[in-house]
Amino acid sequence: MTRAGFGWLRVPVGDEAVRWATRGLCRRVLFVVHNVTSATRLLDVLPLFRDDFRVQLLATCTGSSPFQGGVGELLAAVGVPVLPWEQALDTPVDLAISASLGGQLHSLRGKLAVLSHGIGYNKRLATPEAGSRKPEAGSRKPEAGSRKPEAGSRKPEAGSRKPEAGLRAFA
């Protein structure tokens, strides 16, 4: 089974993307969506990259939020390539932008900017989303071998999730 068989994109990112991409030298800006709510805030800032031929916009969904309804349709309407979360974790990007703190953001391969999706940060940590994140960790194993430099840094997920909880508590 190839990665494409898991729905991985082959263009504009992917193993042989250089063969298929027309503008393959672009910097990659990845919008990390958690749910429709956080996506709307990302859509507020997506137009800041308008008219820039040096940039390829990408999107992915962490799958960590319980609110998955409408995400697929929304991203399809936005019309930028949507990477499966596993591929997003496997794909080096120049900048990842998220409007929520759930999911394994620390495992993304690139600079990370986090926005709030409401008025600033007001909530205490209520229910951890950790439970819904487990399946992802398991399904990532088959690819780990092929990504030597990053594989190591991704292991201590459980430990490195704590700062996130701290941020949400502040938030």
Partner 1 sequence: MADAFVLSHPEQLDRLRAACPEAAPAAVLAGDPCFDRMLAARCHRDRFRRALGVHDGQRLVVLNSTWNPDSLFGDGGAEDLLPALLPRLVSELPLDEYRLAAVLHPNIWQGHGPGQVRAWTDRARRAGLALVDPLEGWRQAVIAADVVIGDFGSVSYYAAALGTPVLVGTASHHTLDEDSPVAAFVREAPRLDAYGPLEKQLATVIASHRPLRGPAEFTTSAPGESAALLRRAFYELAGLDEPTGPALLDPLPLPPYEPRVCTAPVRVVTRVAANGVSVTRYADPRHEPDGASGYVHTAVHEDTLDPGVLSHADVIHRQGPGDDPRLEGPEAWAVRTLARFPHCSVAAYVTGPTECVVRTRDGVTLRLTGEPGGGDPTAWVSALHGARAEGRTARELVATGLVVVTGSAAHTVSVSPPR
Among 76, 121, 135, 152, binds partner 1 (CB under 8 A): 121
Q: Is 155 in the site for partner 1 (CB under 8 A)?
A: no
- In the bound state with partner 1, the residue whose beta carbon lies nearer, of 16 and 44, is 44
Q: Computed from CA positions of residues 147, 141, 94, 51, in that sequence, does the dihedral angle turn out positive or negative? A: positive
Q: Is 130 in the site for partner 1 (CB under 8 A)?
A: no
Q: Which stretch binds partner 1 (CB under 8 A): 8-16, 28-36, 82-90, 132-140?
A: 28-36
Instruction: Please classify residue 39 by burial: count the beta carbons closer than 10 Å to its beta carbon, then call 0-12 exposed, 13-18 middle and 19+ buried.
Output: buried
Q: Smallest distance from the beta carbon of 83 to partner 1, in angstroms?
A: 17
- In the bound state with partner 1, the residue whose beta carbon lies nearer, of 15 and 94, is 94
Cβ atoms within 10 Å, residue 62 = 25
Distance CA 86, CA 122 (A): 30
Q: Smallest distance from the beta carbon of 63 to partner 1, in angstroms?
A: 14
Site for partner 1 in 6-25 (CB under 8 A): none
Q: How far is CA 69 from the centre of its chain?
A: 17
x/- mask, partner 1, residues 75-104, rule CB under 8 A, reads -------------------xx-x-------
Among 111, 142, 146, 156, binds partner 1 (CB under 8 A): 111
Distance CA 29, CA 47 (A): 12
Tell me if residue 97 falls in helix, strand or coil. Answer: strand
Rg (Cα) of the chain, in Å, rounded?
A: 16
Q: Give how far Cα 146 sits from Cα of 72, 168, 171, Å.
A: 28, 33, 37
Where along the sequence are the contacts to partner 1 (CB under 8 A)? 27, 29, 35-37, 40-41, 44-45, 47-49, 51-52, 54-55, 66-70, 74, 94-95, 97, 105-106, 111-116, 118-124, 126, 160, 163-164, 166-167, 169-171
